[in-house]
């Protein structure tokens, strides 16, 4: 068995099979359906600066993802919340943490095969140290890879099997010197970044891709829309092309891991962190600490 480093042990706690384990505990075997054939769903919440904004929404979404994926959501939302809070207090009060509930299928039907047995659903909660990225800005480009449709992937679940294509997109973009990339849907509309949702502003209006069944409209995305609209900003959900982004006054991302981040370059065009990005980030931090 591989040794687990002291840092990994101290930086991670996983609740599995009714107890907390330090470190990156083994939870799947070679015949586990989730490991072999990708029948996993997860969610991600954040604790930082002593707050855990929208933790309830993330705990509810993991169960909705399980239902949409046809797994059995065996953990009540209230228990996810209680366990998440148990995990948070295992760390220093100022630690920046990632909180990840997971479900997966353990077995295929009739002892194996592609079709999983929902009754074999298992679960864990992993909480680990993950510093909040500094909002220094990122350079982005357009990816040649595209988001799938509901006919080709479980796009209505935060499923692990959806992410390899995003990984390919990030690797390809990094190879060209970019930190992230925009992905389009199969009709050519911009859907999201490879690991977060996207916003742009032009002529005093903020725009974000309208949910069309090809990407998850994230919890943080919804919070940013509500906060900006509550502050009197016009936020429009629309079908957007890459040409729209090329002429934007500013672009920024929203996502649970980094919250709100500015784009400072789109291909060769330099951009500045704009007033709507600045307002969105400030409003989110105010909301997080007031919740």
Give the CATH number, domain containing residue 283.
3.20.10.10
pLDDT tens column, 197-256: 999 999 999 999 999 999 999 999 999 999 999 999 999 999 999 999 999 999 999 999
Phi then psi for residue 151, to 5 deg, are -75, -15
Identify the domain boundary among 99, 129, 159.
129
Cα separation of 273 and 135, whole Å? 9
Mean pLDDT, to the nearest integer, of 114-143? 96
Instruction: Identify whether 219 is part of a domain.
Output: yes
In a domain, 179, yes or no: yes
Structural domain contains residue 124: yes
Specify whether 117 is located in the same domain as 177: no
Answer yes or no: is 183 within a domain.
yes
* HSE-CB of 290 using CA atoms within 13 angstroms: 7
| Distinct helix (H) and strand (E) counts, the chain | 8, 15
Burial 119-136 (b: 16+ CB within 10 A, else e): ebbbbbbbbbbbeeeebe
Q: Taking residues 9-25, what's their average pLDDT?
A: 90
Contact yes or no for 33/120 (Cβ under 8 A):
yes
Eight-class DSSP state of 51: B
With cut-offs at 50, 70 and 90, classify the pLDDT of residue 6.
very low
Query: What would the pLDDT profile of 31-59 be if each residue is shown by its tens digit?
Result: 999 999 999 999 999 999 999 999 999 99
Say if CB 58 and CB 43 are below 8 A apart: yes
Residue 176, both tokens: 């060209």
Residue 5, class by beta-carbon neighbours within 10 Å (0-12 exposed, 13-18 middle, 19+ buried)?
exposed
* H or E segment and range at residue 200: strand 197-202
| pLDDT of 144 | 98
228 lies in a domain? yes
Asked if 156 and 68 count as a contact pair (C-beta separation under 8 A), the reply is yes
Number of domains, the chain: 2
Q: Looking at the structure, do residues 149 and 246 belong to the same domain, yes or no?
A: yes
Contact assessment for residue 192 and residue 198, using Cβ atoms and an 8 Å cutoff: yes
| Residues 146, 254 within the same domain | yes
Rounded CA-CA distance 74/77 in Å is: 9
Choosing from 129, 164, 195, the residue where a domain stops is 129
Report the CATH number that the domain containing residue 67 is assigned in CATH: 3.30.470.10
The answer to whether residue 63 scores a pLDDT higher than 90 is yes
- Joined together, the tokens standing for residue 27 give 């939870």
Query: Are residue 148 and residue 271 in the same domain, yes or no?
Result: yes
> Of the given ranges (3-7, 83-87, 137-141), which has the lowest mean pLDDT?
3-7
Q: Check whether residue 40 and residue 117 sit in a common domain.
A: yes
Burial of 137 (0-12, 13-18, 19+ CB in 10 A): middle
Judge whether 1 lies within some domain.
Answer: no
Domain holding 99, by residue range, is: 6-129
Do 97 and 143 reside in the same domain of the chain? no
Cα Rg, the chain, nearest whole Å = 20
Choose the final residue of a domain: 100, 129, 158.
129
In terms of domains, do 177 and 222 share one? yes
Q: Quick one: 122 and 258 in the same domain?
A: no
Give the long-range contacts of residues 207-211, CB within 8 A, separation 24 or more: 207/235, 207/236, 207/237, 207/238, 207/240, 207/244, 208/235, 208/236, 208/237, 208/238, 208/240, 209/237, 209/238, 209/239, 209/240, 210/237, 210/238, 210/239, 211/237
Tell me whether residue 118 is in a domain. Answer: yes
Residues 143 and 284 in one domain: yes
């Amino acid at each position: 068995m591989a040794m687990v480093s002291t840092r990994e042990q101290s930086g991670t706690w996983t609740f599995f099979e009714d107890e907390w384990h330090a470190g990156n505990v083994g939870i799947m075997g070679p015949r586990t359906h989730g490991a072999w054939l990708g029948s996993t769903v997860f969610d991600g919440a954040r604790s930082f600066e002593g707050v855990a904004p929208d933790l309830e929404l993330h705990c509810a979404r993991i169960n909705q993802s399980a239902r949409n994926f046809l797994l059995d959501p065996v953990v009540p939302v209230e228990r996810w919340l209680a366990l998440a809070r148990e995990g948070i207090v295992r760390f220093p009060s100022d630690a920046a943490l990632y909180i990840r509930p997971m479900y997966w299928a353990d077995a295929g039907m009739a002892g194996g095969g592609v079709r999983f047995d929902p009754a074999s659903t298992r679960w864990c909660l992993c909480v680990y140290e993950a510093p909040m990225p500094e909002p220094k800005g990122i350079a982005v480009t357009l990816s040649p890879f595209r988001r799938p449709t509901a006919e080709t992937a479980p796009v209505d679940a935060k499923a692990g099997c959806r992410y390899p294509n995003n990984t390919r997109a990030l690797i390809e973009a990094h190879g060209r010197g970019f930190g992230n990339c925009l992905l389009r849907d199969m009709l050519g509309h911009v859907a999201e970044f490879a690991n977060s949702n996207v916003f742009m502003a032009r002529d005093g209006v903020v725009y974000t891709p309208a949910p069309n069944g090809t990407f998850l409209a994230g919890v943080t995305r919804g919070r940013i829309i509500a906060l900006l609209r509550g502050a009197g900003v016009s936020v429009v959900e629309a079908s957007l092309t890459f040409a729209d982004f090329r002429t934007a006054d500013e672009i920024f991302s929203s996502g649970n891991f980094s919250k709100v981040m500015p784009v400072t370059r789109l291909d060769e065009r330099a951009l500045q962190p704009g007033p709507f990005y600045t307002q969105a980030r400030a409003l989110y931090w105010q909301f997080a600490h007031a919740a």
